[in-house]
Structure 1
Amino acid sequence: MKKILFLLFLALPLLTACKEEEKPDEEAFIFGQWNLLCEGNCIQIYKFEGGKLYEDNMRSFREAPIIVYKTSPMDAKYGSLAQELENSFPKDYLMPRGLQFIGCPNCVEEGGYYLAFERESEIIWWQVGRIPELWPQEIRPFMEKMIQTMREFPPQQ
């Protein structure tokens, strides 16, 4: 019995030691627009992560199967605009409808708007059409704010 208690006493520091802190699953808010059939820069996608805003580093979705971003963030004033936009995101309406096309009957020909929340473990996205009359009332104010916000960003090169 003394031997068992001694072994437990030796093992106690191992059992109570602090675990290495897990890295939090940081969330990124992604938004922008795309066109499939166009010339020049066919996408303008932005990723807001860790208080910084990054613009895509692509000219089309045909370039890669995933969106890649520039490594340097945009000016902090644009990050503030992205934070305001994320704060106005209609989560109550859209989150239950994740992984969907919304008001987007002709996305292939017309392109659309892209919205997503990305974590290391998952991505939830929406494609929203370009015709405001087809948008559900619940997302119209947000969509109008998103379009206005993107107009305030500098043109992508």
Structure 2
Amino acid sequence: MRKIILGILTIGILLSCNGDDDSEINIDEQNFLIFGHFYGECGGEGCIETFKLTDKSLFEDTVDDYSGQDMKFIELQNDVFEQVKNLTNFFPNELLNQNETVFGCPDCADGGGLFIQYSENGNIKSWRIDQVKSNVPEYLHVFMDKVNEKIALINE
């Protein structure tokens, strides 16, 4: 009888530990693109916008941490994903070969900056890019435009 009661208690404890908050999604995929913009001298929700794009979904960061270190993502609707899923087609491969992680002086003159993080098979690289195109290499310009375009689409 003790074994039955002990078994029932054990199962009950295990089931009660599985009550996670479903509003946040833990993403364990190794291939993704995080993109966003940040503006230091700014007020409101749109000052820091960060998104995570995988091959199947789009997620939005709910923390809006300026440093990009503390991010928690929630999944956005599929129609929004459909509007931005091709962003990776514009990612400049030259960026992967750069030793620099900062281009220009992001948000130094209140012009804002882009935060980009790319992961392929768990190998993560991050960059901060000045929004002022004259301060960054030309090969980044089309990608910068697309990132800003996709953020605008998401925020419509």
Question: Does the pair score TM above 0.5?
Answer: yes
Q: How does 1:104-115 map to 2 (within 5 A)?
A: 104=105, 106-107=107-108, 110-115=111-116
Q: How does 1:96-135 map to 2 (within 5 A)?
A: 96-97=97-98, 100-104=101-105, 106-107=107-108, 110-118=111-119, 121-135=122-136
Aligned residue pairs total 128
What TM-score comes out, normalization by structure 1 length? 0.67
Instruction: Report the equivalent of 2:141.
Output: 140
Instruction: Report the equivalent of 2:14.
Output: none
Indicate how the Cα distance of structure 1 residues 123 and 99 shifts in structure 2: closer, same or farther if over 3 A, else same.
farther
- 1:77 correspondence with 2:79: yes
Secondary structure at 2:72's aligned position in 1?
coil
CA displacement, residues 64-91 of structure 1 (integer Å, 9 cap, x when unaligned) = 8422112xx2222322333211111111
Contact 1:98/1:125 (<8 A) preserved? no
Q: 1:89 aligns with which of 76, 88, 91?
A: 91
Distance of 1:128 and 1:77 partners within structure 2:
28
Distance of 1:60 and 1:38 partners within structure 2:
14
Contact 2:31/2:122 (<8 A) preserved? no
Indicate how the Cα distance of structure 1 residues 99 and 51 shifts in structure 2: closer, same or farther if over 3 A, else same.
farther
Segments of structure 2 that go 5 or more residues without pairing to the other structure are: 1-27
Q: 2:53 aligns with which of 39, 48, 54?
A: 48
CA displacement, residues 23-63 of structure 1 (integer Å, 9 cap, x when unaligned) = x962111101012343333310000124100011024437x
Tell me the amino acid that sits aligned with residue 136 of structure 2.
Answer: W
- 1:36 correspondence with 2:51: no
Indicate how the Cα distance of structure 1 residues 111 and 26 shifts in structure 2: closer, same or farther if over 3 A, else same.
same
Secondary structure at 1:95's aligned position in 2?
helix
Q: Give 1:133 shift.
A: 1.9
Q: Give 1:154 shift.
A: 2.5
Indicate how the Cα distance of structure 1 residues 109 and 122 shifts in structure 2: closer, same or farther if over 3 A, else same.
farther
Distance of 1:126 and 1:145 partners within structure 2:
16
Instruction: Report the equivalent of 1:152.
Output: 153
CA displacement, residues 72-117 of structure 1 (integer Å, 9 cap, x when unaligned) = x2222322333211111111x1001155101226549554101111
Distance of 2:99 and 2:54 partners within structure 1:
20
- 1:58 correspondence with 2:59: no
Tell me the amino acid that sits aligned with residue 116 of structure 2.
Answer: L
Distance of 1:105 and 1:83 partners within structure 2:
25
Cα root mean square deviation, aligned: 2.7
Distance of 2:66 and 2:57 partners within structure 1:
23
Percent same amino acid at aligned positions?
22
